[in-house]
A and B are shown apart, each in its own frame.
Chain A
């Protein structure tokens, strides 16, 4: 459940932040947070580990960038084009991979994402090693000037919240209940008559679509799309963010994304590639000591304190 008070506090914080911290950094954080939330819908609530989500983020980012720069589409339509790209890629990946389970599913998504990576490397429009640069930011709906970073921040915040609320609605819906039952015990769900592949495919496509939205937003924020956005290490980064924050928790991926993006942003310039090592150490500590992630661990402690275990009878 999402207690209203927490959500309101979260909203106020997000609204005030650009006056305290650097808005471009915050926008990048929001993009990665939405990406991680979309990923968590799959890993945390459906029990599917995809190792190809970079393809949805980066693939959409390239199309959104291309739409804005070359096709001259306004920003809202560019983002829409990018999101559609994510959706279609998700449908393609999903149809091929969804029948496989566990490690095979992860490997097939990785292989497909590598194909997208090599396409991006070779295709002329992506700019290859240089990436897609100086993507223009048109006025929103032709009237709102987005060159000012704080204005842009609020636009990105609205998109982020829309994506976040969609995920929230899905998780706490009848469909979300079915997803959770598949995560808990797939064979049992099948024996109750659920054609589980269809629900998994639906969740996969929604997750890819929202990752596509995150990628398109990222392209508009940075005004650059590079090969690192489709690189497999991006698929790894989103797993890392989700696990550190807490899989299967609503706010976990946001916290995870905040930690990873802040470390890259603030420590990157002093420590260079040492950041990767520090992240590795954090990840190991996380997995060894609080396996449910930061938010997962906090939630469990709070619940334990609040609710004493209900009376149990003594049979068996």
Chain B
């Protein structure tokens, strides 16, 4: 049934070289609507580079990217976000000096076109509070609303990041290692959050934690040395000897 979903995000022969080193090589990736799609692969496989290419933080050397059939290869990062393709970062990206509530409101401000108003007092932003609290409730952060984001423990920061991203109500969520550096208790909570967020949305995530990937993703693409090694369900890719070899080295395969 997942195969019947339309393709939302697609790359065609996407490549990126850095001074002769090819980090991503002719990658053809198709992400289907309403799926959780995981990108895995050993260190240096080009996952984060591919991610940065998709969100235009890097410019591809060749190839193209399509979002819902529209060629977005030469779009700029903020414009990608405006189209509904919002990313997170490997290192948690919150606005540390702002409160938890303000963090979520920043995203809402853009959506509600309350970004250039310099003549209004910021109390006008209180009209966004209900929506913001709802989002914080969703990730179990409402009681921290008045705390500075910097004061949150790491796992909570990632939850805040997800709430901020969801505030834009994006069609596609791009999560760059959402579980990196997390304690076990946070991992299961974040996995649940991602599943919750993925309702009626598409999620593409880079993730190292294979047990999480196995549990929540519908499709897994395995990258090795910048190329797609295999793609399919967890059962499928985990039984591929080449995938095992890429992860464990030859002798274990």
Contacts and interface: CB of A to CB of B under 8 A. Distances in A.
Contacts of B89: 187-188, 191
B119 A192 contact: no
Interface in A251-291: none
B106 A173 contact: no
Interface string B87-112: 11100011111100010011101100
A174 B98 contact: no
A169 interface: yes
A316 B181 CA distance: 10
Interface in B62-81: 76-79, 81
B81 A191 contact: yes
B154 A316 contact: yes
B239 interface: no
Contact of A192 (B76, B107, B114, B121): B107
B38 to A, nearest CB: 20
Interface stretch (B5-13, B14-22, B182-190): B182-190
Nearest to A178: B115
Contacts of A122: none
A192 B106 CA distance: 9
B116 A175 contact: yes
Please classify the interface of chain A as helix (H, G, I), strand (E, B), loop, or mixed, using the class held by over half of its residues: helix
A176 B122 contact: yes
Contacts of A176: 118, 122
B115 A173 contact: no
Nearest to B185: A315
Interface string A164-188: 0000011011111110110111011
A169 B119 CA distance: 6
A192 B118 contact: no
Interface residues of B, number: 50
Given A173-B117, A178-B106, A192 B168 contact: yes
A196 interface: yes
A184 B153 contact: no
A169 B118 CA distance: 7
Given A169-B119, A316-B186, A185 B95 contact: yes
B78 A193 contact: yes
A174 B106 CA distance: 9
B82 interface: yes
Interface stretch (B130-138, B143-151, B215-223): B143-151
A195 interface: yes
Contact of A315 (B102, B117, B118, B186): B186
B81 to A, nearest CB: 3
Contacts of A161: none
Contacts of A315: 153, 155-156, 183, 185-186
B78 A173 contact: no
A183 B95 CA distance: 9
A316 B105 contact: no
A316 B93 contact: no
Contacts of A184: 95-98
A170 B86 CA distance: 28
Nearest to B82: A193
Interface hub of B57, B106, B121, B155 (most chain A Cβ within 10 A): B106
Interface of B: 55, 57, 76-79, 81-82, 86-89, 93-98, 102, 105-107, 109-110, 114-122, 124-125, 144, 146-147, 151, 153-156, 164-165, 168, 182-183, 185-186
17 contacts: A169-B118, A172-B122, A174-B109, A174-B117, A177-B109, A177-B125, A178-B116, A185-B95, A188-B89, A192-B106, A193-B82, A194-B110, A194-B115, A195-B78, A202-B116, A316-B154, A316-B185
